[in-house]
Amino acid sequence: MSKRLSPGLRLFLLVVVVLLAGSAAIMAGRQAAAWALRGLLAEVQGRLEVYAQSLDVAVERFAHLPYTVALDPAVAALARTPDDPALAGRVNRYLAAVGDRAGNAVLYLIGPDGNTLAAGNWDRPGSFVGVNFAYRPYFQAALAGGEGRFYGVGNVTGIPGYFIASPVRDGGRVIGVVVAKVSLDTVEAVWREAGDAVLVTDRFGVAFLASRPDWTLQSIRPLDEPVRRQLAETKQYGTHPLPELPFSTALAMADPVRWIPAGPAGEEIPFVLARKPLGQEGWTMLLLGDASLVVRTERTAMAGIALLAVLAAVMLFAWRQRRRRLSEQIQAQAALERAYGDLEHKVAERTADLEAAKGRLEREVEQRTQAEQELRAAQNDLVQAAKMAVLGQMAAGVTHELNQPLTALRGLADNAAQLLDQGRESEARENLTFIAQLVDRMSKITAQLRGFSRRGDGAPGPVPVATAVREALALVERRFANERIIVDVDVPSDIKVAFEPVRLQQVLVNLLRNAADAVKGMPDPFIEIALQRTSRPGLVALVVRDNGPGIPDTVRGRIFDPFFTTKPAGEGLGLGLAISLAIARDYGGTLEASSLPTGAEFILTLTEIRTGGRPA
């Protein structure tokens, strides 16, 4: 008969087992959390790159405006003769027109003494005309002959913005400064829509852009007296006190997971931090990624190990019980036979309980795995939505952004020809240098189309379909005439749909260009545009058909995928149909494609607007 362990030794062994099980649970939890953390950090860094590119696009799309406006002869004339009221009125209207076409920008002209001579908001409250901005760093940099850039709160309007300044030259002398104040509210709106916690700080650590309004104009570290004095001299943030963010201490910690009071009721939430220097006057972008999944993974792993330890303990206990009963059988065989049945019954019950617990545990693990997969899929969809959102914004604005550099190129080229005729080669060479710079800026604008996309935000209104078709045809009229394409239009003039005019025109131009590509080389190229009512009340279908070769079955399923194209290299990016589909969905419509026996057709379904501006 085996010797029984003393009570003290049994207690010691129990404590050792509990400690080993606890250590195993902690180690397993930490390892699982480390795996989850690595994946989360990589994903957060990827999203940070997307947001950084969107901010760069939002800023650089306006970089050419002050430079181009500074080349206007009327602007230079007003800088030379600031006391001419008629000329000032002309420049005011010109700056207002340019700012309205650019969108989210206010242009103004400053004299060399810092006084504003003309402004695009001259006829609105908070006009810049007559205000002295000599203390602003962007004015000082442009007056010295360079490009001035600065972000701050407006001293007149109290509205923050990004300032881009270029000098107005009279030969080799700077006689004024043209400034564009750009609003970045749309960038913050995109961040808020995406649901991420994003903020951008300046070189002093002041957060001036953030996805949460309550984080702006607060610092991520203490501001010493010299810094506050410098900010006061430039009036960069007006009279705002610039307090520290409540979680500034957590941002400075080295822990991979930081607990920050960012919940709806101020409760602390775990986050991982990703930083990216933006290279613009010392800017830094910070992205706080939700680390709740990491914490849940760690706790789940620890709970799983703990459950396994409990299961092992229960099995050990059952084994010891059985051994004890066998030992008692030697002492009392008759009593053991009666107790044996009871023991088997208890073991069966405990085994059933263990099996039930095991089944519950397996179901819980399966549910958690499925939840994790759904979360990752949702996160991937969010990243893709952000990419497509930015590309939509860039594609919508690239046309009018290129118009002004093209106008400036035309004027500079004509001027260079006249200078060469007059023998003024040095000035002509300077014009050619300006032309090269404008070409570089245009290349940079168009290169952004390979980036990402965002949803259109134009408000829908009653749009006559016939008018939209007529304007779209005007944009492709020259190509259709050159290629002798016959167009048949059957669109009633009294039908209006709920859409934004420019967006609808953009979709139609994409469809017409695709149709023109399809019928290219055909003996009798033909395109038909027809508006039909559908079987669903309140919906109409705008159909674009061609007599081209049709859509092969092998590509029909991918025709609306971004960057998918069957055109030769250099003739298309494969974005037209993807953008058109996104625009149609933004306004509650659909876009479908099908192949016909002779050609192909695209059907754009739209919501009809009846009398009074209400949906049919």
Three-state DSSP string of 322-372: HHHHHHHHHHCHHHHHHHHHHHHHHHHHHHHHHHHHHHHHHHHHHHHHHHH
pLDDT confidence of residue 131: 93
Band of residue 36 on the pLDDT scale cut at 50, 70, 90: low
Numbers of helices and strands, H then E, in the chain: 15, 18
- On whether the CB atoms of residues 190 and 387 are closer than 8 A, the answer is no
Q: What is the pLDDT of residues 399-414, one digit of tens each?
A: 544 654 676 677 778 7
Q: Which of 162-166, 436-440, 503-507 has the lowest mean pLDDT?
A: 436-440
pLDDT confidence of residue 61: 85
- Measure the CA–CA gap between 250 and 225, rounded to whole angstroms: 23
Structure tokens at 470: 């007529």
pLDDT confidence of residue 366: 84
Band of residue 389 on the pLDDT scale cut at 50, 70, 90: very low
Mean pLDDT of the region 468-484:
86
- Measure the CA–CA gap between 47 and 54, rounded to whole angstroms: 11
Give CA separation, 523 vs 23, 333, 489, 548, 549, in Å: 80, 106, 20, 10, 12
Q: What is the pLDDT of residues 292-350, one digit of tens each?
A: 777 777 677 667 776 776 777 677 767 777 777 877 777 767 766 776 788 788 878 88
Domain 64-183, what architecture? 2-Layer Sandwich (3.30)
Q: Domain coordinates of the chain in residue numbers?
A: 64-183, 461-609
pTM: 0.47
- Measure the CA–CA gap between 508 and 519, rounded to whole angstroms: 17
On the question of pLDDT at 441 being above 60, the answer is no
Range among 41-45, 232-236, 607-611 rated most confident: 232-236
pLDDT confidence of residue 379: 38
CATH code of the domain occupying 461-609: 3.30.565.10
How far is C-alpha 62 from the chain's CA centre?
18
Which residues sit opposite 527 in a β-bridge? 487, 546
